[in-house]
Amino acid sequence: MNEMVILVVSSMLFCIGMVGAVIHKSAVRVMISLEIMFNGTLLALLALSKYFNPLGGGILALYAIALSSVEVGLLVSVFILLYRRSRNLDVYEIPGLGE
């Protein structure tokens, strides 16, 4: 039963994050939704790797967490620069992209 609960939770997290990434216009909210999706994926990875290859799955999860931290640091820096430049964080109105 435990494994089924974990799989349901990870699928739900992925889908909730997907809804947030699609419906929001603010870049910060899109990033937070993508992070929720990442959490769901990480949980599914570890739940599956427990039955297939625990060592490989654990190492991959450590890499994923570290890379996610780097990615968030980079994105927040980009958002701060973007906000200083245009006073707007709407993903559909980023200056320099489009017309």
Give me 63's structure tokens: 């890499």
Q: Which of residues 77-96 bind another protein (CB under 8 A)?
A: 77, 79-80, 83, 89-90
Q: Which of residues 25-54 bind another protein (CB under 8 A)?
A: 25-26, 28-29, 31-33, 35-36, 39, 42-44, 46-54
Residue 75: C-alpha distances to residues 50, 70, 72, 79, 81 (Å): 32, 9, 5, 6, 10
Residue 16: C-alpha distances to residues 9, 44, 77, 84, 92 (Å): 10, 15, 25, 30, 21
- Considering the complex, state which of residue 1 and residue 96 has its C-beta at the smaller distance from another protein: 1
Q: How far is the CB of 18 from another protein (least distance, A)?
A: 5
Q: In 3-state terms, what secondary structure has residue 26?
A: strand
Chain residues that interact with another protein, rule: CB under 8 A: 1-20, 22-26, 28-29, 31-33, 35-36, 39, 42-44, 46-54, 58, 61-62, 65-66, 68-69, 72-73, 76-77, 79-80, 83, 89-90
